[in-house]
Chains A and B, each alone.
Chain A
Amino acid sequence: MIKVLIAEQSYLIRKGLTHVLNQFNEISQIEVLSSHMGLNEVVEHLSPDILIINSTILNENDKCSFSNKIKNDIKIIHLINTILPSESPNNQISIYDTKIKITDKLSPLIKDLSKELVDEEGSEELTQREQLILKHVALGLTNKEIASKLYISSHTVISHRKNITRKLKIKSVSGLTVYAILNGIIKMSDIS
């Protein structure tokens, strides 16, 4: 499911935008922020799929530290306080745009994102490879150690771990250890 963060100063516009976004069943969570303050922390913490941000907020925020961190993972939609030409790109929304126009601009993005996510979320079952990685994580090995043991890159280990966490909804090493023991992947005696 898709997570959206709205960063916009105006209460009325936040409300209106939330109303438009609520039309999409694919969106599971909408969080709002009324200024640039705390933006970096919230982005990091929430890791939204889409960030809809007023262009004046983006200017106030320390651009460099922010854009580098999120450039790859988050789709940014710019909310602009003036009227835009009719051929404006889909990642720019004017506060004067009609509901239909906003919906049309957001639709393709949301459809694409949800397709990606469905593919990923398709299976909850861990693959054999993931089980193996999980076993080593539960035994207390670091990503680096697992990588060298299985002759793969640390990057691959990290990507497996991301998938494990997404499938199980368990993130911490100790949580994963509990899971591994409950499911007989390792034994209680292996860790003590």
Chain B
Amino acid sequence: MRIHSNMKMADLVEVNFEILEVIQRLQIPFGFKDKTIDKVCKENNIEVLFFLQLAQWFIERENFPQEELMQGHPNLLITYLHNTHKCYLEHQIPRIEQEIKNLEKETELPGESVQLMIKFFKEYINEFTDHLKDEEEITFPYIQALEKANRGELALSDFNKKYKNYSIDKYLANHSNLEEKIVDLQSILLKYMPPPVNNCKFTNLLLEIYRLGKDLKDHTLLEENVLIPKVRHMEIQLKK
């Protein structure tokens, strides 16, 4: 189905509740009453088209609106990616960590295996935190400055001075693959761990990890297919 801007925001969530994630990541407050998508977006300074494209993608996965999303303001994309990170780091990952710890108490897995998993996951959290820090402290401010320089709000000389040696390719070079270890974790838990007694807990843990893996895949897609090409385009424009 085609989502349109006169649809009520609350009805949209009924169509596919995963859109809640889009709403959260764009920092749109709940309590929609009967407001339309158009009204809610305008109240929150969000380009309606950008929201519609993201929402449409959530219900029609096979059609990724690359060019349409690239039209959106870079700050919107940054807000979205930033809040996605924040949610992973503050919520999803600690929960998975806790569930791994619980395995020791609630299953008959040998303590050593659980310790191993905890150690593995701790390492992953550190990597994740570094990745996030890198984006928040270097890449995102760079993109925002680039956007300002393109609009003439930031003097070109200032921009060049600050980012003499930086370009989005630098970011790509350090872009660690956060999906990789999640796949490793899935394989270890699914195929190589001694089977636990409490199947329900274990299954839930696996489900959460698979969900995070799928989410990370979307996240990479947005970074690789929208953010990076957009920034490259902005870099070329500035040089003209």
Contacts and interface: CB of A to CB of B under 8 A. Distances in A.
A174 B64 CA distance: 33
Interface in B214-240: 220, 224-226, 228-229, 232
Contacts of A84: none
A182 B192 CA distance: 7
A170 B188 contact: yes
Interface stretch (A31-39, A48-56, A89-97, A145-153): A31-39
A170 B187 contact: yes
> For this complex, into which size category does the number of interface residues on chain A fall?
20 to 34
A135 to B, nearest CB: 16
A31 to B, nearest CB: 9
A41 interface: yes
Contacts of A174: 120, 123, 181, 184
Interface centre among A32, A45, A170, A179 (most CB of B within 10 A): A170
Interface in A23-66: 32-35, 37-38, 41-42, 45
Interface stretch (B10-18, B36-44, B85-93, B111-119): B111-119
Contact of B181 (A42, A175, A179, A181): A175
- The 3 residue pairs across chains A and B that have the minimum distance between CB atoms: A175-B184, A37-B229, A38-B225
12 contacts: A32-B62, A34-B67, A37-B225, A38-B224, A38-B225, A45-B224, A168-B192, A169-B187, A172-B181, A175-B188, A182-B188, A188-B115
